Protein backbone atom coordinates (compact mmCIF):
# COMPACT_ATOMS: atom_id res chain seq x y z
CA UNK A 1 0.00 0.00 0.00
CA UNK A 2 1.53 3.30 -1.05
CA UNK A 3 1.11 6.77 0.34
CA UNK A 4 -0.41 7.85 -2.97
CA UNK A 5 -3.21 5.29 -2.60
CA UNK A 6 -3.87 6.38 0.97
CA UNK A 7 -3.96 10.02 -0.10
CA UNK A 8 -6.38 9.11 -2.89
CA UNK A 9 -8.56 7.41 -0.27
CA UNK A 10 -8.59 10.55 1.89
CA UNK A 11 -9.35 12.74 -1.13
CA UNK A 12 -12.22 10.43 -2.12
CA UNK A 13 -13.61 10.43 1.44
CA UNK A 14 -13.48 14.19 1.92
CA UNK A 15 -15.12 14.98 -1.41
CA UNK A 16 -18.89 15.07 -1.89
CA UNK A 17 -19.67 14.84 1.86
CA UNK A 18 -18.65 11.20 2.05
CA UNK A 19 -17.46 11.68 5.62
CA UNK A 20 -21.10 11.12 6.55
CA UNK A 21 -20.23 7.43 6.23
CA UNK A 22 -17.87 7.59 9.22
CA UNK A 23 -20.33 9.70 11.21
CA UNK A 24 -23.02 7.12 10.39
CA UNK A 25 -20.84 4.28 11.64
CA UNK A 26 -20.19 6.11 14.90
CA UNK A 27 -23.89 6.85 15.30
CA UNK A 28 -24.72 3.20 14.61
CA UNK A 29 -22.28 2.18 17.34
CA UNK A 30 -23.98 4.53 19.78
CA UNK A 31 -21.03 6.92 20.08
CA UNK A 32 -22.45 10.33 20.98
CA UNK A 33 -21.07 13.44 19.29
CA UNK A 34 -20.44 15.05 22.68
CA UNK A 35 -18.13 12.25 23.81
CA UNK A 36 -14.60 13.37 24.57
CA UNK A 37 -13.04 10.89 22.18
CA UNK A 38 -15.55 11.35 19.32
CA UNK A 39 -13.08 13.29 17.15
CA UNK A 40 -10.39 10.67 17.75
CA UNK A 41 -12.74 7.88 16.74
CA UNK A 42 -13.83 9.88 13.69
CA UNK A 43 -10.20 10.30 12.59
CA UNK A 44 -9.59 6.60 13.19
CA UNK A 45 -12.60 5.83 10.98
CA UNK A 46 -11.17 8.09 8.25
CA UNK A 47 -7.84 6.25 8.43
CA UNK A 48 -9.62 2.93 8.17
CA UNK A 49 -11.54 4.19 5.12
CA UNK A 50 -8.30 5.29 3.43
CA UNK A 51 -6.81 1.84 4.01
CA UNK A 52 -9.94 0.16 2.66
CA UNK A 53 -9.89 2.43 -0.39
CA UNK A 54 -6.21 1.68 -1.02
CA UNK A 55 -6.78 -2.09 -0.72
CA UNK A 56 -10.05 -2.14 -2.71
CA UNK A 57 -9.39 -4.26 -5.82
CA UNK A 58 -11.96 -2.76 -8.21
CA UNK A 59 -11.78 0.69 -9.82
CA UNK A 60 -14.56 3.11 -8.87
CA UNK A 61 -16.09 4.48 -12.08
CA UNK A 62 -19.84 4.18 -11.68
CA UNK A 63 -22.24 5.05 -8.86
CA UNK A 64 -22.93 1.31 -8.37
CA UNK A 65 -19.21 0.58 -7.85
CA UNK A 66 -19.01 3.50 -5.43
CA UNK A 67 -22.00 2.11 -3.52
CA UNK A 68 -20.30 -1.30 -3.23
CA UNK A 69 -17.14 0.36 -1.94
CA UNK A 70 -19.07 2.42 0.59
CA UNK A 71 -20.98 -0.65 1.83
CA UNK A 72 -17.75 -2.62 2.16
CA UNK A 73 -16.02 0.32 3.89
CA UNK A 74 -18.95 0.77 6.29
CA UNK A 75 -18.59 -2.82 7.49
CA UNK A 76 -14.81 -2.59 7.83
CA UNK A 77 -14.96 0.70 9.71
CA UNK A 78 -17.70 -0.62 11.97
CA UNK A 79 -15.79 -3.79 12.87
CA UNK A 80 -12.52 -2.02 13.56
CA UNK A 81 -14.08 0.80 15.58
CA UNK A 82 -16.04 -1.78 17.54
CA UNK A 83 -12.75 -3.54 18.33
CA UNK A 84 -11.26 -0.21 19.46
CA UNK A 85 -14.26 0.54 21.68
CA UNK A 86 -14.15 -2.93 23.24
CA UNK A 87 -10.45 -2.54 23.90
CA UNK A 88 -11.07 0.85 25.55
CA UNK A 89 -13.84 -0.64 27.67
CA UNK A 90 -11.54 -3.36 28.99
CA UNK A 91 -8.78 -0.87 29.72
CA UNK A 92 -10.91 1.66 31.59
CA UNK A 93 -11.47 0.03 34.94
CA UNK A 94 -10.96 2.76 37.51
CA UNK A 95 -11.29 2.40 41.25
CA UNK A 96 -11.60 5.36 43.54
CA UNK A 97 -9.44 5.46 46.65
CA UNK A 98 -9.02 8.27 49.14
CA UNK A 99 -6.93 8.67 52.27
CA UNK A 100 -9.84 10.28 54.09
CA UNK A 101 -12.41 7.70 52.99
CA UNK A 102 -14.73 6.62 55.75
CA UNK A 103 -14.30 2.86 56.08
CA UNK A 104 -17.39 2.62 58.29
CA UNK A 105 -19.59 3.94 55.51
CA UNK A 106 -19.79 1.31 52.74
CA UNK A 107 -21.95 3.60 50.60
CA UNK A 108 -19.08 6.07 50.18
CA UNK A 109 -17.25 3.57 47.94
CA UNK A 110 -20.16 3.55 45.48
CA UNK A 111 -19.76 7.18 44.41
CA UNK A 112 -17.70 6.39 41.33
CA UNK A 113 -19.85 7.05 38.25
CA UNK A 114 -19.56 3.94 36.03
CA UNK A 115 -21.21 5.74 33.11
CA UNK A 116 -18.35 8.21 32.64
CA UNK A 117 -16.49 7.43 29.44
CA UNK A 118 -12.83 8.16 30.13
CA UNK A 119 -10.62 7.93 33.25
CA UNK A 120 -10.33 11.73 33.56
CA UNK A 121 -14.11 12.11 33.36
CA UNK A 122 -14.55 9.43 35.97
CA UNK A 123 -12.15 11.17 38.35
CA UNK A 124 -13.79 14.55 37.79
CA UNK A 125 -17.23 13.01 38.33
CA UNK A 126 -15.98 11.22 41.43
CA UNK A 127 -14.69 14.53 42.88
CA UNK A 128 -18.03 16.18 42.15
CA UNK A 129 -20.00 13.31 43.71
CA UNK A 130 -17.73 13.28 46.77
CA UNK A 131 -18.40 16.96 47.38
CA UNK A 132 -22.10 16.48 46.66
CA UNK A 133 -22.14 13.61 49.17
CA UNK A 134 -20.53 15.77 51.86
CA UNK A 135 -23.04 18.61 51.39
CA UNK A 136 -26.22 16.51 51.10
CA UNK A 137 -28.67 15.39 53.75
CA UNK A 138 -28.85 11.76 54.80
CA UNK A 139 -31.96 11.12 52.68
CA UNK A 140 -30.49 12.84 49.62
CA UNK A 141 -27.35 10.71 50.09
CA UNK A 142 -29.48 7.59 50.09
CA UNK A 143 -31.15 8.69 46.85
CA UNK A 144 -27.75 9.43 45.27
CA UNK A 145 -26.36 6.08 46.32
CA UNK A 146 -29.35 4.15 44.96
CA UNK A 147 -29.35 6.13 41.71
CA UNK A 148 -25.66 5.52 41.02
CA UNK A 149 -26.06 1.78 41.57
CA UNK A 150 -28.13 1.54 38.35
CA UNK A 151 -30.33 -1.14 39.90
CA UNK A 152 -33.42 1.04 39.89
CA UNK A 153 -34.84 2.45 36.68
CA UNK A 154 -37.24 4.96 38.25
CA UNK A 155 -38.10 6.90 41.38
CA UNK A 156 -41.05 4.55 41.86
CA UNK A 157 -38.69 1.57 42.10
CA UNK A 158 -36.55 3.43 44.65
CA UNK A 159 -39.68 4.30 46.64
CA UNK A 160 -40.73 0.63 46.73
CA UNK A 161 -37.22 -0.42 47.76
CA UNK A 162 -37.11 2.14 50.61
CA UNK A 163 -40.72 1.63 51.68
CA UNK A 164 -41.67 5.28 51.23
CA UNK A 165 -43.95 7.24 48.91
CA UNK A 166 -42.95 8.51 45.48
CA UNK A 167 -43.39 12.04 46.78
CA UNK A 168 -40.80 11.42 49.49
CA UNK A 169 -38.31 10.15 46.91
CA UNK A 170 -39.13 13.15 44.73
CA UNK A 171 -38.29 15.46 47.66
CA UNK A 172 -34.95 13.65 48.17
CA UNK A 173 -34.23 14.13 44.49
CA UNK A 174 -35.14 17.83 44.61
CA UNK A 175 -32.89 18.33 47.65
CA UNK A 176 -30.05 16.64 45.81
CA UNK A 177 -30.60 18.74 42.68
CA UNK A 178 -30.67 21.94 44.74
CA UNK A 179 -27.42 20.97 46.46
CA UNK A 180 -25.82 20.13 43.11
CA UNK A 181 -26.86 23.52 41.70
CA UNK A 182 -25.41 25.33 44.70
CA UNK A 183 -22.23 23.33 44.31
CA UNK A 184 -22.08 24.22 40.62
CA UNK A 185 -22.45 27.93 41.45
CA UNK A 186 -19.66 27.73 44.03
CA UNK A 187 -17.30 25.78 41.75
CA UNK A 188 -18.36 26.19 38.11
CA UNK A 189 -15.17 24.50 36.85
CA UNK A 190 -15.89 21.30 38.75
CA UNK A 191 -18.82 20.22 36.56
Query: Can you give the pLDDT at residue 189?
Result: 58
Nearest CA among 123, 121, 145, 122 for reference residue 133: 145
pLDDT digits (tens, 9 = 90+) for 5-41: 878 887 888 887 788 899 899 988 888 888 888 899 9
- Out of 87-96, 118-127, 152-161, 167-176, least confident range: 118-127
Cα 30 to Cα 27, 38, 50, 160, distances in angstroms? 5, 11, 23, 32
pLDDT digits (tens, 9 = 90+) for 108-133: 444 555 555 555 444 556 667 777 78
CB of 75 within 8 A of CB of 25?
A: no
> Which DSSP category does 19 fall into?
T
Q: What is the pTM of this model?
A: 0.47
pLDDT digits (tens, 9 = 90+) for 34-61: 888 889 999 999 889 888 888 888 878 8
The string over 109-129, giving b where at least 16 C-beta atoms fall within 10 Å of a residue's C-beta and e elsewhere, is ebbbbeebbeeebbebbbbbb
Amino acid sequence: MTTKKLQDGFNFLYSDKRTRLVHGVLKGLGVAVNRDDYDDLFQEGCLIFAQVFADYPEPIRTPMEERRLMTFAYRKIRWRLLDILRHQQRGVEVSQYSLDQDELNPESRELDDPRAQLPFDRLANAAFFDELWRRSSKKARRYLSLTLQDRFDSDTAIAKHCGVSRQAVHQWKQQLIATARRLQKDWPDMV
